[in-house]
Amino acid sequence: MSSNSKLIQLWQSDIVIDYQNRDTLNNQLLPYLLEKYKQTSLGKEHYERIPHNIFADNFEPVNQLKELLINTTKNYYDIGGLEFDIEGHEIVSHDRQFIKTHVDTEEGDLTFQYYVKAPKENEDKETNSFGNASFVLVNPARPAGSFTFKNEHYLEYPVLPKEGLLIMYRSYIPHYQNPYEGSDELVQVVANIKFKRDLH
């Protein structure tokens, strides 16, 4: 019997990593996000929250962040006249906290991580590296914890949190956050854009 086999690359998705000096925006966002966290936190875990959407607030720095996320989307995807919803909330991490592997497909089609406050020691390290509270994207074709052969690569893509760093990726990509170590808060915004479907 003849054999007809071929190797197919399954992990084909654009990931945008945009690292810029955004100190002015972050300095305005930080007190707002910390106050919002105090108002909505219900416990020690990240998911113990009162649901809310910071983009529903009429606060100029939040509007600037929203514009940044939408413009980033338009720079990389042809969204034409598609209608969409955008929602976002702050995540505040304390010492030893981490986030388990998950996907955001129920929340959106595109997901963003934007870092407002991050460990200072991360600034001089490679962005694409493991370290303090590193954010990790996982190949959706290979579940976390599955056996890895020596010649397999790009199963995980780590990104080191830095202030002013923006990450955009498809919401179906599994991701997690390594444990954070520090006495100050790690503060980020997680946002999702969901495009409206025409139901036939």
Q: What is the DSSP string of 112-157?
A: EEEEEE--GGGTTS-SSS--TT-EEEE-TTS-TT----TT---SEE
CB-count exposure of residue 142 (10 Å: 0-12, 13-18, 19+): middle
- Would you identify the CATH topology of the domain 16-195? Jelly Rolls (2.60.120)
Structure tokens at 149: 């052969």
**Of the candidates 37, 59, 118, the residue with the CA atom closest to the CA atom of residue 67:** 59
pTM of the predicted model, to two decimals?
0.89
**Of the candidates 90, 142, 137, the residue with the CA atom closest to the CA atom of residue 116:** 90
Predicted pLDDT at 2: 52
Predicted pLDDT at 157: 87
Mind listing the pLDDT tens digit for each residue in 128-155?
999 999 999 988 876 666 777 777 666 7
Q: What is the mean pLDDT of residues 24-42?
A: 97
Mind listing the pLDDT tens digit for each residue in 36-63?
999 999 999 999 999 999 999 999 999 9
Mind listing the pLDDT tens digit for each residue in 152-166?
666 788 999 999 999
Whether 89 has a pLDDT exceeding 70, the answer reads: yes
Predicted pLDDT at 147: 77
